[in-house]
Structure 1
């Protein structure tokens, strides 16, 4: 659910109005390259910022300014070995289950007899992930967002995000229960294998050495385009990662021994209570792979939203979920808000479409150096956890806590308003972010993916009955044709 947005610390005041003068022409100018490896990066001058510009130039609230961290990432990739997505998947160490082995049933009729729409594809995570009290799944994207041919080399990955609720970790207060921030799961649906990757923020420590730390955000939405992975940072905007920069802290595949690193130090994947460079050893909370942040797009408008689930109608929005619309030309990044309502805040939230540079996957800036939404709409329903647009059709996931979520179809009417079309379709309990697999590159039927967040043993009566429990974490997809034929 999106309600924990603001357990995260407030952003620094300097980032509220920060504009990157060195990026006025384009915003995060990174090169395309080969999928399997991270090419060497030229070192660039540090990005300078100014507070001279004001947010009044952005009239829809969706204005964002770019920040570049590529010099720091270049120092990290010079210090540690890197790994490509294909190799990561080939060496995946965890397995999903499917079919009868995937007994978890968040599509059960646990809300008065409503029969939710059954998915065409359903996977269950391994038990420790499915029942984890520390990690909660949220965002989802895949190679159909990233590539028109829907292949990453020979693989067709799906990626999900999880945030760490360290307060639910046991035993609390131990190093193993440190807040590890956000991790990704790279899943190969063909083999059923997946691997976790820890996200990290690069910085220079007090000795001037490059290091990294956990990124403490909710990560409610993710979207993959070219080499860039966009991750929502609820009240701040978007964090950006380059999938050529996956750091490998255990290349010899022997966790019991430390690895020598290119910078003459060593790496340790046994200690799950430490992260970054400490006493000349690299740590990663026990994860083999670490993906450092290479930049961000930060809201420049005033942020009036707070820790409550309600949303303000003006100023910067919340960044709650993401998707890619490949049917538009150029493609667009769909970003929207999760909002509850009350008498003082009747609005359901906003959704906007940000233009993507189809050459390198960066966001397109206007003449003033800002990125802004091409179109924005008020959402027709509240508590939206995910939104996808394809061929002018909108699909919205609306959550109802521990009851089946509602999948809505919507369209822009002649009055320019986003409105529901067709009836309510009940789906999984705890449905989250969404991903559209268009099937154009493979000839397969288009699929609409999502995932559910609640562990099956959660301490709530709604999840305890009936048998099987209506809760449980699954990654699933409906055929778009099945959705469109519903009343």
Structure 2
């Protein structure tokens, strides 16, 4: 029986590779027909410009606010002992479709060039009322690429806002990636403790950025929230005991809007309140720095006059502060490096070595987007088609996550989760 199972997985993998190869050819052919009216993404954004003035860098300062340990312990005492990531994966009750089973509409979310080497599609019934956001992996969490014995992908989603109760909610799919031919997952609602840990509310925020570093998960907060980032502890995943639409304490136990698990925040980072302070959109982990660092990018309007900012914070190396940003004695976290870019409508951002990779959304929300590699010397874009078009990337990638152990960049667009080697991105640059 095990031998036949391996053959089935091998055939699925071969079918997926054939599917991806066909998709790449079709999309590359389509790229040659992109009209001149869509050429704004091809405009060269030029080199990154360092931000050095204290007035500019002061706007990037964050203030750390940790939830009191007593509040977290009170909540755990009421809900029951927290579970680990392995227990969450063991309860996976959904399966992603592999590339061969994706529809033609879904595959339009894949990059034109370079082509994805792995691709999976989310179930429409499971995600129809939700908007895809950020991706992070156990490759961020630990440099061996695993969390304990497991390879894991975390995928963030935000409610599209059907009813008032649903509007703006955020949740994370815990994806079991131990077998890349068959990904399974389950959901955890992102929450914030209230009333001294006696209850919790849903995090009402779009998940445009997310980084899992050591035992902490950092998640971006939207414009309607005072925080810039929320912090979650991967050792404090709680089980929901009631399957209901409600959130928090209910008559018979604890509910997470129908999800099986809930993650209560353990802290947040707030903007200092300085005029012109940017709110992080995309974030990612950079393991090429010492210490490891969190990089962030700012969303700006397409065609706007203001340059978007890219910057980084160092992670703390002090005992007892695993996964938290480095702060001074007042609890402030200052950016250690900052730039501006002329690339507008920035979505995903990734930094590795001397380079910054910035994804740009499609101008009309459809068709390929753009991906630029920038540094202080200049910029290069991925190219595709016989005419070397620069609109070659996925249309709506919210984030880029580099799995250093495998050399792959993971992202998602629409209902498609995909990966490709960072080296293939570098090879496709003009």
- In which range does the TM-score fall when normalised by the shorter chain? 0.7 to 0.9
Q: Which residue of structure 2 aligns with residue 476 of structure 1?
A: 418
Give the whole-Å Cα distance in 2 for the aligned partners of 1:425 and 1:71. Answer: 51
Give the whole-Å Cα distance in 1 for the aligned partners of 2:144 and 2:88. Answer: 20
Structure 2 residue 126 is matched with structure 1 residue 129: yes
TM-aligned CA distance change 1:229 to 1:115, over 3 Å? closer
Structure 2 residue 254 is matched with structure 1 residue 282: yes
Give the whole-Å Cα distance in 2 for the aligned partners of 1:109 and 1:391. Answer: 28
Give the whole-Å Cα distance in 2 for the aligned partners of 1:420 and 1:276. Answer: 48
Give the whole-Å Cα distance in 1 for the aligned partners of 2:393 and 2:105. Answer: 11
Cα RMSD (Å): 2.3
Give the whole-Å Cα distance in 2 for the aligned partners of 1:240 and 1:227. Answer: 10
The range that moved more, 321-330 or 430-439, is 430-439
Structure 2 residue 373 is matched with structure 1 residue 409: yes
How far is the alpha carbon of 1:115 from its aligned partner? 4.6
Q: Which residue of structure 1 aligns with residue 401 of structure 2?
A: 435
Give the whole-Å Cα distance in 2 for the aligned partners of 1:268 and 1:317. Answer: 39
Give the whole-Å Cα distance in 2 for the aligned partners of 1:299 and 1:180. Answer: 21
How far is the alpha carbon of 1:105 from its aligned partner? 4.8
Give the whole-Å Cα distance in 1 for the aligned partners of 2:109 and 2:328. Answer: 49
Give the whole-Å Cα distance in 1 for the aligned partners of 2:372 and 2:71. Answer: 43
Structure 2 residue 363 is matched with structure 1 residue 391: no
Task: Verify the 8 A CA contact 1:108 1:116 in the aligned structure 2.
Answer: no
Structure 2 residue 232 is matched with structure 1 residue 237: no
TM-aligned CA distance change 1:58 to 1:203, over 3 Å? farther
Q: Which residue of structure 2 aligns with residue 86 of structure 1?
A: 86
Describe the SS at the equivalent of 2:417: strand
Give the whole-Å Cα distance in 2 for the aligned partners of 1:57 and 1:86. Answer: 46
Query: Deviation string for 1:351-394 (max 9, x for gaps)?
Result: 11001014512110134431010011102311111100112222
Task: Verify the 8 A CA contact 2:168 2:206 in the aligned structure 1.
Answer: no
Query: Deviation string for 1:287-313 (max 9, x for gaps)?
Result: 11000011001011335xxxxxxxxxx
Query: Deviation string for 1:165-184 (max 9, x for gaps)?
Result: 22xx3xx56xxx53361000
Task: Verify the 8 A CA contact 1:398 1:407 in the aligned structure 2.
Answer: yes
How far is the alpha carbon of 1:247 from its aligned partner? 0.4
Query: Deviation string for 1:80-99 (max 9, x for gaps)?
Result: 23211111112200000113
Give the whole-Å Cα distance in 2 for the aligned partners of 1:475 and 1:194. Answer: 13
Q: Which residue of structure 2 aligns with residue 6 of structure 1?
A: none
Task: Verify the 8 A CA contact 2:116 2:420 in the aligned structure 1.
Answer: yes
TM-score, length of structure 2 as denominator length: 0.78
How far is the alpha carbon of 1:220 from its aligned partner? 0.7
Describe the SS at the equivalent of 1:75: helix
How far is the alpha carbon of 1:186 from its aligned partner? 1.0
Please show how residues 120-269 of structure 1 align to structure 2 within 5 Å: 120-130=117-127, 132=128, 134-166=129-161, 169=162, 172=163, 178-179=166-167, 181-189=169-177, 190=179, 191-204=182-195, 210-235=198-223, 236-249=227-240, 267-269=241-243
Describe the SS at the equivalent of 1:77: helix
Task: Verify the 8 A CA contact 2:316 2:327 in the aligned structure 1.
Answer: no
Q: Which residue of structure 1 aligns with residue 387 of structure 2?
A: none
TM-aligned CA distance change 1:407 to 1:59, over 3 Å? closer
Provide structure 2 residue ranges, at least 5 long, that are not aligned to the other structure: 1-53, 383-389
How far is the alpha carbon of 1:341 from its aligned partner? 4.6
Number of paired residues?
356
Give the whole-Å Cα distance in 1 for the aligned partners of 2:332 and 2:112. Answer: 46
How far is the alpha carbon of 1:58 from its aligned partner? 7.7
Q: Which residue of structure 1 aligns with residue 325 of structure 2?
A: 363
Give the whole-Å Cα distance in 2 for the aligned partners of 1:59 and 1:248. Answer: 41
Query: Deviation string for 1:43-76 (max 9, x for gaps)?
Result: xxxxxxxxxxxxx988441111111113322211
Give the whole-Å Cα distance in 2 for the aligned partners of 1:79 and 1:356. Answer: 32
Describe the SS at the equivalent of 1:484: helix
Give the whole-Å Cα distance in 1 for the aligned partners of 2:109 and 2:231. Answer: 39
Give 2:115's match in structure 1, choosing from 114, 118, 121.
Answer: 118
Task: Verify the 8 A CA contact 2:242 2:253 in the aligned structure 1.
Answer: yes
User: Greater helix share, 1 or 2?
Assistant: 2
Please show how residues 347-358 of structure 1 align to structure 2 within 5 Å: 347-358=306-317
How far is the alpha carbon of 1:218 from its aligned partner? 1.2
How far is the alpha carbon of 1:219 from its aligned partner? 1.6
Give 1:449's match in structure 2, choosing from 402, 405, 410.
Answer: 410
TM-score, length of structure 1 as denominator length: 0.69
Task: Verify the 8 A CA contact 2:62 2:332 in the aligned structure 1.
Answer: yes
How far is the alpha carbon of 1:427 from its aligned partner? 2.1
Structure 2 residue 64 is matched with structure 1 residue 66: yes
Give the whole-Å Cα distance in 1 for the aligned partners of 2:189 and 2:366. Answer: 28
Task: Verify the 8 A CA contact 1:183 1:197 in the aligned structure 2.
Answer: yes
